[in-house]
Chains A and B, each alone.
Chain A
Amino acid sequence: MMSFLPTKDRTITQTLQDFLAQVLETKAADAVLVPSRVTGDAAVKPCLICHPDQLHHTVPLGPGFFVNAGTMVSRLSWKLSGKKTAVWLRPCEIKAFVELTKLKQGDRDEVIILGMDCPMALSRKDYDTWVQSRSPAEVGPGLPDPEEWIRNRYEHPGKPIDGFTPARACQVCETPYPVNADVSVQLFGADLDQGIVLQADTRKGEDFLEGLHLPPGKKPEGRNTLMADIQALHEKAFQKMETEIQDQTGTMDKLNHFFSACINCHNCRSVCPVCYCRECVFNTDVFVHPPFQYLQWADKWGRVSMPFDTIFFHLTRMAHMGLTCVGCGQCTRACPANIPVADLFITVARKAQAAFDYKPGADDAEPLPLSVFQEKEFADIVGMGGSHDT
């Protein structure tokens, strides 16, 4: 089922704000979770909104992306609330949430996922510059109208906007369109002066759209071609990134260089939507070493940098969450040392996921690779190599 959301001389942001207001007014959902300005300035975070009069703060589409809302949806759904919440998510946020539901850290039952064609996001530094460059001096820094960003992203994807290119993680994204949503909001290829198309992807999504009584819509022409173009572009960008990362981290020495500025703040872990452990092993005493151990290491290698266990932390995190990595790029955004953490993690994760033929977030029924096993599999990695191996 497809519905149409006419713009009628409104901006895209206004159109979507009015749409979300309609969702609340018609009781299609009791609350909506949508990126919103928290105060008057440019900081954007997911906000849970129950009253339509609060929607004018919202920024459904824009280049600001500092919290992966997948984790937030999990906080709203780990237990039944008796209320229906419509959640407005980027594709990588949907994937993160789906991964968390597989770990029983969230449930789709009371949640209606509205997934959008992704407007992509800027790095933190670029976002600040973008805000500065578009804030008139007399007004001071506030959130600029994202309309210019929206138009450019959907009408000319792949083209820098006035010198601003989206974050690396976004440039290499495999699915900049919603997968596994209840309702997908289709903007690529749409005539944004006319309106936006909403497509129900599940039974729940159909019921949701029916309740809103919107005019029927049809798939934007040229959407498929545009999608294929974008995917080809992103695949090319990924290959470039992979080569670069291989050059930068191909040996332990290079990996040392890559992470040399890391201060073990573990921000990358805190913001990671799929770092799902209730208590991380790095917060426990498992790797608290006795003082003589450090001295022994210093004697062995001649020196030891402190805090220690930097690479150990990153490699362990990679092994623990790599198979569920959704490639949202928040780790890079959160890094105070400006290390492109996501570039490395996305590169390694994508290859590791391929080895298990696993696509995180794509299918609710597909279990996490390390939570299951087959009796006969991966025979090639067992044994010392040779005929007597089993």
Chain B
Amino acid sequence: MPEAQAVRDKDARQKNALQQPAGQPIVPDAFEPVAIAFVCNWCTYTAADLAGTSRLTYPDNVRLVRVMCTGMVDTQYVIKAFLEGADAVLVSGCHPGDCHYINGNYKARRRIKLLKQILPRFGIETQRLRLTWIGASDGIEFARTMIRFVDEIKQMGPCQTRLQSVI
């Protein structure tokens, strides 16, 4: 399984990068963040697909989780992602008014608003949680957003939850 080996090698590299002596700043280049993106089937996932077929590239730090609608992304999934060591979480769906289920994205917006009141209190910076609208035809926009997203997390450095276990 060469692919699995490649993944393991990469994980090992990341681990080495993180296990530097305490007190030394992490070199931005050496830090490969893990970002979880909950993307809706109808818009952002389709945009990702379009980006792929258009041969656009975006950083593989972003792990896409396809959901039928951002309206089903309960706060618990976002919290779980962070606690298991994600450096950032993105929720992305259809533009307002375009939701396949009429209003799921409006509900998602309220949940993200709520999480942004809660998580920063415990040291998970508000910029680590993002909500964007990327339509099905926005392949370029998708790739651009992902590049920028990963770039920003690299600047921020790893999330606390990645460096230590959360009980």
Contact = CB atoms under 8 A, between A and B. Distances in A.
B95 A390 contact: yes
Nearest to B149: A384
Contact of A352 (B97, B118, B122): B118
Interface stretch (B35-43, B47-55, B59-67, B127-135): B127-135
A319 B132 contact: no
B85 to A, nearest CB: 7
Contacts of A355: 113-114, 117
Interface stretch (A172-180, A202-210, A218-226, A369-377): A369-377
Interface stretch (B2-10, B22-30, B102-110): B102-110
Contacts of B100: none
Interface string A360-387: 0000000001100111111001111000
A322 B132 CA distance: 24
Most buried by B among A260, A369, A381: A381
Q: Which of under 10, 10 to 19, 20 to 34, or 35 or more describes the interface residues of A?
A: 35 or more
Nearest to A301: B165
Contacts of B114: 319, 322-323, 352, 355-356, 369-370
A253 B109 contact: no
A318 interface: yes
A318 B164 contact: no
A310 B121 contact: no
Contact of A256 (B112, B118, B124, B166): B166
Given A250-B122, A378-B113, A373 B103 contact: yes
Given A305-B167, A352-B114, A382 B79 contact: no
A257 to B, nearest CB: 9
A303 B165 contact: yes
Contact of B148 (A303, A308, A318, A384): A384
B132 to A, nearest CB: 6
Contact of B111 (A259, A300, A316, A370): A370
Contacts of A348: 117-118, 121
Nearest to A376: B96
A374 B97 CA distance: 11
Contacts of B123: 250-252, 255
A68 B161 CA distance: 35
A312 interface: yes
B17 interface: no
B160 A251 contact: yes
Please provide the 6 A-B residue pairs with the shortest distance between their CB atoms, ordered closest to farther: A301-B165, A319-B75, A373-B106, A251-B123, A352-B117, A252-B160
Interface of A: 246, 249-253, 255-256, 259-260, 262, 281, 287, 297, 300-305, 308, 310-312, 315-316, 318-320, 322-323, 348, 351-352, 355-356, 369-370, 373-378, 381-384, 389-390
25 contacts: A246-B121, A252-B161, A256-B166, A297-B165, A301-B164, A303-B165, A318-B118, A319-B115, A319-B118, A320-B76, A322-B118, A348-B117, A351-B121, A352-B114, A369-B114, A370-B111, A370-B114, A373-B106, A375-B106, A377-B109, A378-B110, A381-B113, A381-B131, A384-B145, A390-B133
Interface of B: 75-76, 79-80, 83-85, 95-97, 103, 106-107, 109-119, 121-124, 130-133, 145, 148-149, 152, 160-161, 164-167
